[in-house]
Structure 1
Amino acid sequence: MQPIVDLQGKVGLITGIANEKSISTGVAEACAQAGARLVITYQNERTRAFIEPVVHRLGVEDVYLLDATRPDTQQEVFERIRARFGKLDFAVHSMAFAKRDDLHGRVVDTSADGFALAMDVSTHSFIRLARMCEPLMELAGGGSLVTMTYLGSEKVIPNYGMMGLCKAALEAATRYLAAELGPRNIRVNAVSPGPLMTRAASGIAGFDGLMAAAVDRAPMHRLVTPEDIGALTAFLVSDAGRLVTGGVHFLDAGYNIMA
């Protein structure tokens, strides 16, 4: 397959791969095809087996544990990146979690503990990632951070509950990080795909109907794929996107513009 953009010589960190249908799988494939050397993380030993086909297919040698609830694992990942590559050119954040009751229940009923956990894993983990990336990206002469969001950040999506608040905060963090890291030539962007069936989406009640509505209402009458998300993300982390920062970039066949 013809590379989308040129990422030769760049080192990238990809988080959030759960299996071969994950958003991050499409991102990793696009970046690898464009020539990037990749570091891939997994959440725990149980999930490691599910990402092995992706790791094997892409020939990735650097596969590390990164549990968003354990800061020591994140520290170790970045120590290994520094020792192995001495720099980091881009990083993709695709981590989110909310307790099932908080995801399906009313926001007004969210517990303080549930709120804190969802915000920590879904939003503050991106801020922590950016802080760890900063010195390694400075060694590379600059870099690019990309996180994954969703329309539920600004519109009320049934059964999306607490995650809508997390994504709204994540998008605000994207703008503030872009402003703070811009002087160091580090760009920060969010990609907002339309609905697609992933392991995370399978936990949202009525998601099949949401996808059907997206196909019906979107001007292009299509669902986004992990490959589509990979193409846009590879552009954003490449030199072709060198002045693109602070934005939320919709990738949903135009669904977000419809009333």
Structure 2
Amino acid sequence: MQKLVDLTGKRGLVVGVANEHSIAAGCARAFRAAGAEVALTYLNDIAKPYVQPVADEIGAPMLMPLDLREEGALEAVFEQVSAQWGKFDFLLHSVAFAPREDLHTSVVNCSSKGFSVAMDISCHSFLRMARLSRPLMTEGGALMTVSYYGADRVVEDYNLMGPVKAALEASVRYAAADLAAEDIRVFALSAGPIKTRAASGIAHFDELIDRVRERTPSHHLVSIEEVGRIAAFLASEAAGPMSGSVIYADNSFHVMA
């Protein structure tokens, strides 16, 4: 059967797989199904057993540790990618973190340190990856990050992550302008709420899921497979004219008043 998107011969790095149910896992499978070779990272030794099955499923040639809080860890990942591949074509950043005590309070009460940590790991890390990707995307490429509707509108209990995701989306626009001359496209993929390990940190998440399902025109939540198919398209040259855009994958929830 003909592929809807053909990424044959392309190579990509996916950062942020926590387990087989992660949005990043759905994207990694879609990239592989489209013909790409896909490398993965895992947070630490505790997380590795949950990521290893995804790596095995897609035949990942590299599975590398990456704790963004550790000095030099990100650089080590790119050094390995450079040594093994020499160049690559796309990157998916699906990383978000905020200290629990800061995430579970109102945004005006979050601490300066908590805000800085959340911004560094969830937003600035994408720009760091863009900078490190640049010399390895010798024939152009695509940089993608995962966002959420809470960047646009106030979502109850999303708190600190709202302004952080808003900054991430703004970073996408500026990075797209910075890198346009090198044919490096930059996108934010705003996915609807999905029951993932990361989402479980949001207070009352099950209630949020129910509210979103009720307000979504089809009354169906988006799946990681659906998000993955969109990511695979964004990784292709066909998405080039859309660089700098926030692409919504939420079954039209974001258009509802």
Work out whether residues 4 and 234 of structure 1, in 8 Å CA contact, stay in contact via their aligned partners in 2. Answer: no
Work out whether residues 115 and 162 of structure 1, in 8 Å CA contact, stay in contact via their aligned partners in 2. Answer: yes
The residue number in structure 2 matching 1:207 is 205
Work out whether residues 90 and 144 of structure 1, in 8 Å CA contact, stay in contact via their aligned partners in 2. Answer: yes
CA–CA distance in structure 2, aligned partners of residues 72 and 64 of structure 1: 13
Aligned residues: 257
CA–CA distance in structure 1, aligned partners of residues 118 and 226 of structure 2: 27
Work out whether residues 86 and 136 of structure 1, in 8 Å CA contact, stay in contact via their aligned partners in 2. Answer: yes
- How do 1:1-259 residues align onto structure 2 when only pairs under 5 Å count? 3-137=3-137, 139=138, 141-259=139-257
Change (3 A) 1:161 1:117: same
Q: Which runs of 4 or more aligned residues in structure 1 lie more than 4 Å from their structure 2 counterparts after TM superposition?
A: none
Work out whether residues 18 and 51 of structure 2, in 8 Å CA contact, stay in contact via their aligned partners in 1. Answer: yes
CA–CA distance in structure 1, aligned partners of residues 29 and 205 of structure 2: 26
TM-score using structure 1 length? 0.97
CA–CA distance in structure 2, aligned partners of residues 98 and 225 of structure 1: 24
Comparing 21-30 with 214-223, greater Cα deviation is found at 214-223
Q: Which runs of 5+ in 1 are unaligned?
A: none
Question: What is the CA distance between 1:2 and its match in structure 2?
Answer: 5.8
Cα deviations across residues 123-157 of structure 1 (Å, max 9, x unaligned)? 000010000001101x2x10000000001111111
Work out whether residues 4 and 30 of structure 1, in 8 Å CA contact, stay in contact via their aligned partners in 2. Answer: no
Q: Which runs of 5+ in 2 are unaligned?
A: none
Question: What is the CA distance between 1:202 and its match in structure 2?
Answer: 0.9
Question: What is the CA distance between 1:71 and its match in structure 2?
Answer: 3.8
Work out whether residues 3 and 30 of structure 1, in 8 Å CA contact, stay in contact via their aligned partners in 2. Answer: no
CA–CA distance in structure 2, aligned partners of residues 118 and 238 of structure 1: 30
Work out whether residues 38 and 58 of structure 2, in 8 Å CA contact, stay in contact via their aligned partners in 1. Answer: no
Q: Percent identity?
A: 47
Question: What is the CA distance between 1:204 and its match in structure 2?
Answer: 1.0
SS at match of 1:40: strand
Across the aligned residues of Structure 1 and Structure 2, the Cα RMSD in angstroms comes to 1.1
